[in-house]
Copies of this chain bind each other. A is one copy, B any other.
Amino acid sequence: MEASSDIFPRFTELFRTTFGLDEAEYTRLLACFHRRLLPKKAYYLTAGDVTRGKAYLNKGCTRTYVVEESGKEHVLFFSFEDWWVGDFQSYHTLQPGTQYVQALEDCELFWISRDDFTRLAAEIPKLQAWDQVKGRKSMFATLNRLSEVKTMNAEERYLNLIEKHPAINQRISLQDIAAFLDIEPQSLSRMRKRLSER
């Protein structure tokens, strides 16, 4: 990929400003990234895939979900602009993953292979440090999600979701939000009615 900070300002800022890569390092990093378009409903990953790289979500949104034996889908989280998507466990173990990552809108990804990233991280210490910080942050987020799922009921989690993402009802369908809350679409519809009547 070639440098063009106008098209992906957040991506540039992340590595240049926040993590302080110098111009040469950033150019080398950028050269290893590939632009990849993912049309709505297409899959970035499905269960059984081995994750071969990391992907930065520059535009669009995705849902990451698992499927239980009965066929029911459970959304672990949604991802939006400026997030990284992928199956963390599969990336590190090189084993087939259990997660599906599907585009909910037309998406633009910046993709880098595991091999290229590993090589670059070995050469650029700041990149290594960034990767570790990112890993920790997603650990915090996952632990907080676990607490949330354990301590809140469906209604509290719904109110929490729309508080954090006020525009989510405009971007994500009722059935996907229901799969995130682990309730049936009918129950979410009923809940919305109940809330609007207050």
Contact = CB atoms under 8 A, between A and B. Distances in A.
A187 interface: no
Interface residues of A, number: 25
Interface string A2-25: 000000000000000000000000
The main secondary structure of chain A at its interface with chain B is helix
Given A139-B135, A139-B139, A149 B150 contact: yes
Copies in the complex: 2
Given A66-B151, A149-B149, A89 B182 contact: no
B98 A147 contact: yes
Nearest to A131: B132
Given A142-B146, A145-B146, A146-B76, A92 B151 contact: no
Interface string A76-89: 10000000000011
Given A138-B139, A146-B146, 4 more contacts: A88-B140, A88-B143, A98-B147, A146-B149
